[in-house]
Structure 1
Amino acid sequence: MTETVAIQIDHRFVKPYYEGYQHIPESLSPALRNLKTEGVYIDLMTPEGVFIARGYHGHQNKGYGWVFTQDASVYLTIEFLRQLFSDAIGKRQKLFQDEETTAFRLFNGEGDRLGGVTVDLYNDCALVQWYSLGIYEHRELILDALEAVYPVKAIYQKKRFCEGGKYMDADDFVRGERIEFPILVKENGVVFNIDLNDGPMTGVFLDQREVREQIREQYSKGKTMLNAFSYTGAFSVYAALGGADKTTSVDLAKRSLPMTIAQFSANGIDFEAQEIRVMDVFNYFDYALKHALTYDLVVLDPPSFARSKKRVFSVQKDYVKLLEQALQLTNDNGVIVASTNYSGFDMKKFKQFIKRAFHNQHATYKILETYTQPEDFPYDANFKESQYLKVVFIKKLS
């Protein structure tokens, strides 16, 4: 039986938890710092000892754990977890019935009422991501519940927390039948190579599905496109399928070259007619300026934090500069797709970054449309950081 620890909290914090707030931050109580064992239940109590809500202790960058119920009789049992997964599946019936999309998120942490764990479907395979040792301690029940409500062929996992000095296992296979990778999945009819057992990433970021589709349908035909921080070239594939004259994909990772070639080839696109460069994006900007290269469509989707031999990049500190440099490569009436998954600021502040960058470059602009997470990535309205994705389509006027 999992241990339960009662923690009293100040009256000023009580009401949000009665109303369904899930996050347990370090600032909630000094007693949280004394918790040593991850995975134990945390019962939040009023100063008078009245039960408020139950969560679990799972230390991650977002705090000390997550509340999962306001019912004192509820624990992380297989019955409770099965209901969570059943509810999540019910909300995603449109995607389950879409034959053109076979990769999407089945369960999205706090957006589906259990923070710290996500589940993605890739055809009939599931990828479970654990964001703390605390939730990982409950893995067997969670996996049992998942298998009970959805017939997956195989389950793989990614640990997003440090255990024994490392973040990943050599083998991410967990249950079911081992799969020979890569597999081919579909997204809006576009085909992607996916490997669930090769490092921290899988080959495509599923939360950009709607943005990619819009690029293909509305912004690509007859355009030249620069895809910065291109990873495996998913945006470039969509642009090419949308009729772009040429795409240029730039990423520092050496594996981005073969992976991008594979994505183009899977969709019948001649990769030799596209440009794929393995280099630092900022170095490429310098190269493009030197050679007077400009583009009609520029996609900026950098990691929140990245370090190379010569440079450290932080979205919070450096996105304005990134936009400024991209502006110099964007044709008048061209479009910049500015994107970030950094949860530390909201869309309002992101738009301030955009305003500052254009002001610094003495350029004018018009915001055409904005995006956040698609329907399979629900967020908790009470916890603003869970609405992390911010995408803005910007037209450079002059």
Structure 2
Amino acid sequence: MPTLVDTLRTAQARRGPLLTDARTTAFRVLHGEADGVPDVTADRFGGLYVLSLYRDFSPTEEEALLDAAMTAWAPTSLYLKRRPREARVLANVAKETLAPETSARGEPVESLTALENGLSFLIRPGQGLSVGLYLDMRDTRAWLLKEARGLTVLNLFAYTCAFGVVAKAGGAKRALNLDASRRVLEWGEENAQLNGQPVDRYDYVAGDVFDWLKRLAKKGETFDLVIADPPSFSNTKEARFSAARDYARLAEATARVVAPGGRLVACCNHAGLPARRFEAMVSEGLSLAGRQGRAVDSSGPSSLDFPSPPGQEPALKVHVVQLR
């Protein structure tokens, strides 16, 4: 019977090609049940590891996991994130409990630069439940890097603007980043500067995405490629959003700003929303906007570091539709 340390070592070893890729230092080394440790994931950023728990673990269980991770992976720093289902409700009132600002083991790290496909991204492990880069989108960002040349790109729910950075690196004429938080957009500007890209504040817009989509549509502004990667759940001063309930509404609003012949990259990371239902919601939204489209691509996370247990589909779904 393998020990927990053995299981963690085996999980990381499965990522062999990533372990030796000098152009990528950010990837997942443990993906829950698929790697033999249910309700636990771990992301690696060079020597920094971020361990996430998806149920309530006892203090003894937490200590055993942390000790095993230190033995198996020998990280320079290990941070802990607690993500029970109610975490999104508690994030603002119990932040220090859910996402301690300091490391659980090893050296505290204020920030570091991680690489993905040769591009640089600023990681801040003590900033909250999210540390600056969603690793399951690596393959989609690699796709964008090849597709962006000469295009105008709209990056919705931009977070730290990784898609915007990749679009510009791929030769996009423009990448407009929209997010509710000015703080993360400023983080996105830092990411652009890390990659030698000029920063135009007009391309980093803070506000409600639905409100801005209405404004853009009213002005008749369109984009060759629109990326919609919303959180599964969000609350702003203006509205509440649930991907499982509201994605058709988002697709409708987004379709109004996609240029004829342009593409909508519809993304959803809600495990409870099946891919077939998600794609139907995207189609429903296009119809409501009076647009027609055809699916030109469909993908998800890399199976190398985001494997799915047998019989289960990945939580992340990426559906690319070309609009007429």
Q: Where does residue 320 of structure 2 map in the other structure? A: 393
Bigger drift between 206-215 and 79-88 goes to 79-88
Q: Where does residue 324 of structure 1 map in the other structure? A: 252
Aligned pairs (5 A) from 1:224-239: 224-239=152-167
Tell me: higher relative CO, structure 1 or 2? Use CA pairs within 8 A at least 6 residues apart.
Answer: 2
Is 1:105 the equivalent of 2:32? no
AA matched with 2:175: T
1:173-227 per-residue CA deviation (whole Å, 9 max, x = no partner) reads 1111222x22101000010000001122101101000000101112x11111100
* Separation in 2, partners of 1:381, 1:297: 34
Q: Residue 106 of structure 1 contacts residue 121 of structure 1 at CA under 8 Å; is this kept in 2?
A: yes
Q: CA deviation at 1:139?
A: 1.9
Q: Where does residue 80 of structure 2 map in the other structure? A: 157
Q: CA deviation at 1:171?
A: 2.7
Q: CA deviation at 1:310?
A: 2.3
Q: Where does residue 37 of structure 1 map in the other structure? A: none
Secondary structure of 2:246's partner?
helix
AA matched with 2:101: D
* Separation in 2, partners of 1:117, 1:137: 15
Q: Residue 130 of structure 1 contacts residue 136 of structure 1 at CA under 8 Å; is this kept in 2?
A: no
Unaligned runs of 5+ in 2: none
> For the structure 1 residues 351 and 135, does the alpha-carbon distance in structure 2 shift closer, same or farther, using more than 3 Å as the test?
farther
Q: Where does residue 263 of structure 2 map in the other structure? A: 335
* Separation in 2, partners of 1:168, 1:224: 40
Aligned pairs (5 A) from 1:193-272: 193-218=122-147, 220-272=148-200
AA matched with 1:296: D
Q: Residue 89 of structure 1 contacts residue 106 of structure 1 at CA under 8 Å; is this kept in 2?
A: yes
Q: Residue 155 of structure 2 contacts residue 228 of structure 2 at CA under 8 Å; is this kept in 1?
A: yes
* Separation in 1, partners of 2:139, 2:67: 32
> For the structure 1 residues 393 and 247, does the alpha-carbon distance in structure 2 shift closer, same or farther, using more than 3 Å as the test?
same
1:290-340 per-residue CA deviation (whole Å, 9 max, x = no partner) reads 222110010000011111112111111111011111111000110110000
Q: Residue 33 of structure 2 contacts residue 309 of structure 2 at CA under 8 Å; is this kept in 1?
A: yes
Secondary structure of 1:207's partner?
helix
Secondary structure of 2:301's partner?
coil
Q: CA deviation at 1:351?
A: 1.3
Superposition TM-score, scaled by structure 2 size: 0.93
Bigger drift between 181-190 and 158-167 goes to 158-167
* Separation in 1, partners of 2:278, 2:59: 33
Q: Where does residue 105 of structure 2 map in the other structure? A: 175
Q: Where does residue 241 of structure 2 map in the other structure? A: 313
Q: Residue 116 of structure 1 contacts residue 135 of structure 1 at CA under 8 Å; is this kept in 2?
A: no
Q: Residue 252 of structure 2 contacts residue 287 of structure 2 at CA under 8 Å; is this kept in 1?
A: no
Q: CA deviation at 1:167?
A: 5.0
Secondary structure of 1:363's partner?
coil
Identity within the alignment, %: 28
* Separation in 2, partners of 1:273, 1:168: 32
Q: Which of residues 215, 218, 221 is equivalent to 1:293?
A: 221
1:17-36 per-residue CA deviation (whole Å, 9 max, x = no partner) reads xxxxxxxxxxxxxxxxxxxx
Unaligned runs of 5+ in 1: 1-73
Q: Residue 251 of structure 1 contacts residue 277 of structure 1 at CA under 8 Å; is this kept in 2?
A: yes
* Separation in 1, partners of 2:34, 2:301: 11
Q: CA deviation at 1:149?
A: 2.2
Q: Where does residue 380 of structure 1 map in the other structure? A: 309
Q: Residue 159 of structure 1 contacts residue 167 of structure 1 at CA under 8 Å; is this kept in 2?
A: no
